[in-house]
Structure 1
């Protein structure tokens, strides 16, 4: 009994080890699916009031896409942008809020970059090698996760679906633009724990990020510009081990080395063969869970470190002379975290915790604008999880953070989930607040920094209903959401520094999704997202589609064969370009329909040969004004397990 309870609560120890995903179609959840992100502890999906999207290990194998964002963009309420091909700067938007408002945890490690203009994760470098499960928790989650958890929390795991024994897996893929990727995974599990080690590499000649006369570049064009190459090597490790009846140890590590070309930004972007960037991300996390009082009292302590070391080398021509730029950016985050859980009664659990975080960033360049700064952030929080009635789950939480620069800030959250088993209906809703602490760059950057900045604040609300039909083979969900952010931090061209912008930026919308196991050989999925955004000046936020539609299907036409396809339509999206004198102009981007497909043959139960295609309609489109996107592309690959 003690062992069973300890393993069940290990997700609380690892914070975001997304344990126990059951196979699911598209993004809908089985009622017995176990989620970790909503309450920082394993919770049945039927008892979660917040809206959560998942990507399962089954879906990852079905699609074989290269990047984490390739899967996220198929989820309701999520859109992405990219300044070119693989390895170029990538934006992530959740319910109309960009990536600086999304907390991202890789096996429980915060992987956001302290050296960035705003603290945010580099999604362009997150390749899928070893990733076996994803959870996206939507809404402001400041009480459980602190700063940056304004639009949601993204949890990425490499420990899902590991079976007992020792297992090896190799995979490889080759295709368009001289793209190749491959890797190796070693995993194992026994009655007391599990572990996984992955090595994954990706290389591509790429495409040119810059465009010519508003058209994609093609071979044979006399004005063809330089392709922007990209290389990535990623290594991951994660494991957990029960030691005796009451103690469980866990740990994880991450290494990402990347290198590539990039083009000059501007209006329009221009090709520059002298621009290169390198980054080295290293992270580790260790912790332990101690279970007391017959499993009623769980205590988890963990420590983590993340380091970003990146270099930029570029050059431009000014006044007829070549002007090179060399920049080196070194950022570090250390964090110590405690979480306790006490079962007060069968229907009530009290959670509580405290954490200390330090961020530092050192910047050196050949222009003499060197900086070396840091700040501390301390937080305490508590949450009550209540089941006062059968099938009704309520949570309420509050948190207080103290920042070494701007002082204290308090956030709160409440959720409710009510499941009617006779009707297979679940009502869910959440209301919460969040905040984004100003980054080290916004506080202390030479000339532009402003140490008097306060945090940005947010309030979010969502309410929805999930309905199941035909023995849960058809699942539909409709959710209304709003997300308001205040005290926006932005750069002022009148003061030449970062300032607080008064007013509220509003985001309103509806997410609708449906999955249907239509037959033993056919699964169908669909989603629609409507997102309305409005700034204090009345303008829309850029790069957010007003309408986003996704259709998907998986067909098993014969034994050993699987065909999967998806189509995503993006309608009515604008971008914002800079004009002279600090002015801006909104421009409309072209609507587009992206179709991807994969055909797989399984010679044996543990092997797969496949071909897949991206942008099969060869759409000419942009997600960032002036930057190219790949045309129709084809790939062939294999996967073997033994």
Structure 2
């Protein structure tokens, strides 16, 4: 259980109006685990979360405005049931989970047009599936990755909206990341990874979107001596243009191009 006291403030440069929102909210998580076998477990969990107006402004989300400064936080409930199994003499862990997230007091506009006053009472739902794997296939072959499917829906977006049934902005239906490395010599390890994210909508009307993308990365590690590794990472090997996050206001954050990083650890 957590007790949070949040405060967001901003000064509108155009109108010189100072806006502030202060919120106090309690969130909690509950869970239970059952082990049907020594190498496997099944769990259930339930949790809540809160998002005050303006709390995502630093990430390019909604700012505090005259339309939402007086609103309480949006509240979400999450349900999950999953399982984890250790395979191949506990060298490889496989996981699977289904989940549902409900937001039953989402903010919505009370009138057409940007900047219209907002109210609480909208509803959004995400149902999903997660699969994961991590560990060793052989003593020299290592793999880890995961896949997530999410079916999102705007169930209720207020009395003046026609967005009911549309997808929630910036929620991809499919996302995947898989990495594999192999010890080709006792002191040399080579590997690569692939990431996929399906298309995402930028707004609740679903008339703006960014395309799906694939990214490929590579890594080489050389063990100089015990506890000292030299590593080369090449990210976005094919210099793919992709968009990390779309926004409703006609722009999107562009992802990082090809880069190479040498590090030691």
TM-score relative to the length of structure 1: 0.35
Structure with max Cα Rg: 1
Closer, same or farther in 2 for the Cα pair 1:497/1:368, shift >3 Å? Answer: same
Pick from 595, 604, 611: which aligns with 2:216?
595
Matched, 1:363 2:11: yes
Indicate the SS of the match to 2:133.
strand
> For residues 369-518 of structure 1, what are the structure 2 equivalents within 5 Å?
369-371=16-18, 373=20, 375=22, 377=24, 401=25, 413-422=29-38, 424-439=39-54, 447-451=66-70, 453-491=71-109, 494=112, 496-518=115-137
Rate the CA distance shift 1:498–1:420 in 2: closer, same or farther, 3 A: same
Q: Alpha-carbon deviations, 1:547-581, whole Å to 9, x = none?
A: 1122111222112222232111223433339xxxx
Report what 1:178 is aligned to: none
Alignment correspondent of 1:524:
143
Mapped to 2, the partners of 1:358 and 1:576 lie a distance apart of 27
CA distance in 2, matches of 1:620, 1:610: 25
Distance 1:460-1:634 versus aligned 2 partners, 3 A rule = closer
Cα distance between partner residues in 2 of 1:433 and 1:415: 12
Q: How far apart, in 2, do the equivalents of 1:493 and 1:427 lie?
A: 46
CA contact (8 A) 2:107 2:121 kept: no
Larger % of helix: which? 1
Deviations 1:84-106 (A, max 9, x none): xxxxxxxxxxxxxxxxxxxxxxx
Structure 2 CA distance for partners of 1:635 and 1:618, relative to 1, 3 Å: closer
Give CA-to-partner distance per residue, 1:49-71, whole Å, 9 cap, x none: xxxxxxxxxxxxxxxxxxxxxxx
Kept in 2, the 8 Å contact 1:611–1:634? The answer is: no
**Equivalent residue of 1:519, what SS?**
coil
Q: How many residues align?
A: 245
Which digits, 9 at most, give the CA deviation of each residue in 1:225-270, with x for residues without a partner?
xxxxxxxxxxxxxxxxxxxxxxxxxxxxxxxxxxxxxxxxxxxxxx
Quote the Cα distance in structure 2 between the aligned partners of 1:446 and 1:528: 37
Q: Secondary structure at the match of 2:203?
A: strand
TM-superposed deviation, 1:412: 5.5
Q: For 1:415 and 1:591, how far apart are their aligned partners in 2?
A: 35
Q: In 1, are the aligned partners of 2:23 and 2:72 still within 8 Å (CA)?
A: no
Query: What CA distance in whole angstroms lies between the structure 1 residues aligned with 2:102 and 2:221?
Result: 44
Aligned-pair CA distance for 1:436: 3.0
Distance, in Å, in 1 between the alignment partners of 2:8 and 2:74 is 20
Structure 1 unaligned runs (5+)? 1-143, 148-356, 378-400, 402-409, 578-583
Pair 558,498 (structure 1): closer, same or farther in 2 beyond 3 Å: farther
| Distance (whole Å) between structure 1 residues aligned to residue 127 and residue 227 of structure 2 | 45
Higher relative contact order structure (alpha carbons within 8 Å, sequence separation ≥ 6)? 1
- Superposed, which structure 2 residues align to 1:246-285 within 5 Å? none
Is structure 2 residue 257 aligned with structure 1 residue 639?
no
Out of 252, 255, 264, the residue aligned to residue 629 of structure 1 is 255
Q: Could you tell me how far 1:518 is from its partner in structure 2?
A: 1.5
SS of the equivalent of 1:602 reads: strand
2:226 match? 605
